[in-house]
A = this chain, B = another copy of it.
């Protein structure tokens, strides 16, 4: 696995500095003790309330520094990657944040953290500080282990203790609530990869079609190898493990945690799977999905549940300073809004006849159908050789519906042709021509003469399509033709279209349209521009004095 870092020995301090300079800017500070003492603390802390301190090894970001702020942690102590912080670092955090109200340490159940936070607590007590510690052991991966790991469920304890401290509760009641909460939390993780540590050789123990259930957050192997199945099946396995640990008469908050590299798209899909599983019955509040307690780049997620009561629900739902905390959301029926019907169509769009217009449309369509092979052949030199087929398809679709067109209303006719091309022609050119006719129709209905209306259509087509004259597209013929038509009539338009189409043969660099990536002179005309010239020639011939 490849990583973005500079030197192994400064990864954590560089990351903390980056965090403090961005997300933490304006609200957080750090202790001046690098590299040994890596403590992030609230810049606005006045020690009048209970200090809430947590931490542990790095590699779990945004845990723990990301949760420092009003209503959550007072300080976070970071070790190196996956290594407990030193006793001195924890002690420095306690000294820096603890006043008469005392300090609660929230520690995940790993030996190193227990011992280092524990010794720091005892030393702090010897210095006269009131310090309590709560140990969180929420992982249910190993059902009969005496010392379950502490994983992402620890965040519930941060949130509850932080809220109670912020609300002015004393150390004894904050600690009691935190301990009671810790007892009511269960978590389970699943992953499709192990995590890799920047600068260390990594061997993934996973196969191409498997995953592990019951992982910790330090790359340690999961408890069970499982086959890679559909997300809903994996979630069902997890739901079953949880079922034995949940009180069927209680409501729970669910925290959905990205362990590292699961794309946000998939995390939302996982959330949907969880809320469609048997677990959903128990869940009243959700937190996440998102990155809350990661294991570097592990391609996995964890679910954590805490039994709710009114106090916990209030604590979990209270707003906090740290943006990394994801707001608790009530589980509700989704709001699904009916799709509005289109505004009623112009009455003139009902079928009507006009023999002259019908002849014109028929002639244009037949001309384009007749060009299928020549256009394909031109296109094959530069593109995928289907311009003629696309154009012919569009022309046939209009011709097929010619007897349903509102021919007596030119605006409605243009609009309907736009609708037909937008749905039946296919490709970018179908949409572009649909835009052209739709916008031209709108302009015509607004009172513009035909020439102006067609130029308005061109304007919209080039705005959305991005092609300009010189880009070797149909615009090279269409723009001069429409300008000439508006100014001088059909004959001039046909001549201008022809000149424009011929000019495309000399164009070196195609900047838009299907030939956009050729970048060399082709010495043949652009097929779209050629088709435009042919159409104008045909129409001019129809209206030419006999």
Residue picked from A7, A118, A336, A343, most chain B C-beta under 10 Å: A118
Distance between Cα atoms of A264 and B464 in the complex (Å):
38
Residues of B within 8 Å of A133, CB to CB, are 463-464
**Docked complex: A289-345 residues within 8 A CB-CB of B:** 289, 291, 294, 296-297, 299, 301, 323, 326-327, 329-332, 334-340, 342-343
Collect the chain B residues with CB atoms within 8 Å of residue A25's CB: 286, 329-332
Known: A122-B460, A338-B32. A332 touches B272 (CB 8 A): no
Smallest CB–CB gap between A216 and chain B, Å?
Answer: 14
- A96: Cβ under 8 A from any B Cβ: yes
B114 touching A263 by the CB < 8 A rule? Answer: no
Chain B residues with CB under 8 A of A460:
118, 122
CA distance A521 to B227 in the complex (A): 34
Contact A260 B260 (CB under 8 A): no
CB distance from A32 to the nearest CB of B (A): 5
Write out the residue numbers on chain B whose beta carbons fall within 8 Å of the beta carbon of A464: 114-115, 117-119, 121, 133
Q: List chain B residues, Cβ under 8 A from A415.
A: 126
User: A273 → chain B, closest Cβ, in Å?
Assistant: 7
Interface centre among A17, A18, A265, A273 (most CB of B within 10 A): A265
Note all chain B residues with C-beta closer than 8 A to A294: 263-265
A37 to B339: give the CA distance in the assembly, Å: 9
Give the complex CA separation of A442 and B487 in angstroms. 100
Within 8 A of B (CB), among A222-276: 228, 230-232, 234, 256, 260-273, 275
Within 8 Å of chain B (Cβ to Cβ): is A511? yes
Q: Is A376 part of the contact surface with B, judged by Cβ < 8 Å? A: no
**Bound Cα distance A23, B288 (Å):** 7
Chain B residue contacts of A445, Cβ below 8 A = 126
Tell me if A200 counts as interface (CB < 8 A to partner B).
Answer: no
Query: Do A115 and B263 contact each other (CB < 8 Å), given the known contacts A5-B230, A337-B32, A511-B147?
Result: no
Q: Contact string, A495-511, partner B, CB cutoff 8 A, digits 1/0?
A: 00000000000000001
Q: Which of A119, A228, A267, A464 has the most CB of B within 10 A?
A: A119
Asked if residues B232 and A126 are in contact (CB atoms below 8 Å), the reply is no
Query: Do B122 and A435 touch across chains, with their CB atoms under 8 A apart?
Result: yes
Using Cβ atoms and an 8 Å threshold, which residues of chain B touch A428? Answer: 111-112, 115
What is the oligomeric copy number? 2
A329 touches B18 (CB 8 A): no
Binds B, one of A54-62, A352-360, A384-392: A54-62
Within 8 A of B (CB), among A14-40: 14-26, 28-33, 37
Interface of chain A residues 424 through 459 with chain B (CB within 8 A)? 428, 431-432, 434-435, 438-439, 441-442, 445
Known pairs A115-B432, A122-B435, A465-B114; A15 contacts B92 (CB<8 A): no
CB pair B268 A431 closer than 8 Å? no
Is A205 an interface residue when CB atoms closer than 8 A count as contact?
no
CB-CB under 8 A from A111, the residues of chain B are 428, 465-466
Q: Tell me, in angstroms, the Cα distance from A262 to B299 when the chains sit together.
A: 11
Q: Is the CB of A128 within 8 A of B512?
A: no
Partner of A261, one of B7, B96, B260, B431: B260
Query: Which B residues are in CB contact (< 8 Å) with A12?
Result: 265
Instruction: Given A2-B211, A4-B269, A342-B127, decide whether A22 and B114 contact each other with a Cβ distance below 8 A.
Output: no
Residues of chain B with a CB closer than 8 A to A23's CB: 268, 288-289, 326, 329
A56 to chain B, nearest CB (A): 13
Q: Among B26, B146, B147, B301, point to the contact of A330 (Cβ < 8 A).
A: B26
Chain B residues whose C-beta falls within 8 Å of the C-beta of A330 in the assembled complex: 25-26
Q: Is A41 an interface residue when CB atoms closer than 8 A count as contact?
A: yes
Contact (Cβ within 8 A) B4 A262: yes
Residue in chain B with minimal CB distance to A300: B4
Residues of B within 8 A of A435 (CB): 115, 118-119, 122
User: A266: which of B3, B43, B336, B434 is its contact (CB, 8 Å)?
Assistant: B3
Which of chain B's residues have a CB closer than 8 A to the CB of A20?
Answer: 334-335
A208 at the interface (CB under 8 A from B): yes
Given that A21-B275, A261-B297 are contacting pairs, would A335 and B16 also be in contact in the complex, using a CB cutoff of 8 Å?
no
In contact, B115 and A26 (Cβ under 8 angstroms): no
Q: A334's contact among B17, B128, B418, B422, by CB below 8 Å, is which? A: B17
Give 25 pairs: A residue, B residue, CB < 8 Å, sorted on A.
A2-B209, A2-B211, A4-B262, A4-B270, A4-B301, A20-B335, A22-B271, A22-B289, A23-B289, A31-B338, A32-B339, A87-B431, A111-B465, A115-B428, A115-B431, A115-B464, A118-B435, A118-B460, A118-B463, A119-B434, A123-B438, A126-B441, A260-B261, A261-B261, A263-B294
The 7 closest A-B pairs by CB, nearest first: A118-B464, A18-B272, A261-B261, A29-B335, A18-B271, A61-B264, A18-B268
| Apart from A18-B267, A22-B268, A126-B441: 14 A-B pairs, beta carbons within 8 A | A4-B270, A5-B269, A14-B269, A17-B334, A20-B335, A22-B329, A58-B265, A95-B342, A96-B337, A117-B464, A118-B460, A147-B512, A264-B291, A323-B327
